[in-house]
């Protein structure tokens, strides 16, 4: 919750890609989700901001951070391609 409070104060927005089979998502005003087929979903979260790329490995918990403008740009372009192909999920009551 502290992360969301800080992000809200800073006016941060997140666009997240998740699996179509996802059963849990954070329902926060800062989050916008789209969904891709399970077969193409990558369970290794990658965060791109500015010239930084952070790759999260869950077991053992490891974060690899790389500062490189070209790499960040490549990941951004890949994300934008997936975002355009992904689908919105309209849930009842929303």
pLDDT digits (tens, 9 = 90+) for 39-49: 988 889 999 99
CA-CA-CA-CA torsion for 70, 63, 3, 23, nearest 10 degrees? 100
> Which pLDDT band, with edges at 50, 70 and 90, does 31 fall under?
confident
Torsion on CA atoms 12, 39, 43, 69, rounded to nearest 10: -60
Please give the sequence-ordered ranges of beta strands (E in DSSP) within the chain, or none if there are none: 14-19, 31-36, 46-49, 52-57, 62-67
Cβ atoms of 78 and 87 within 8 Å: the answer is: no
pTM of the predicted model over 0.85? no
């Amino acid at each position: 919750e502290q992360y969301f409070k800080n992000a809200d104060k800073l006016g941060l927005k997140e666009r997240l890609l998740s699996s179509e089979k996802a059963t849990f998502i954070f329902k926060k005003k800062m989050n916008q989700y789209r969904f891709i087929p399970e077969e193409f979903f990558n369970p290794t979260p990658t965060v791109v901001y500015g010239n930084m790329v952070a790759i999260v490995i869950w077991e053992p918990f490891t974060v690899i951070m790389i500062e490189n403008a070209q790499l960040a740009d490549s990941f951004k372009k890949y994300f934008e391609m997936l975002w355009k192909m992904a689908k919105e999920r309209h849930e009842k009551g929303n």
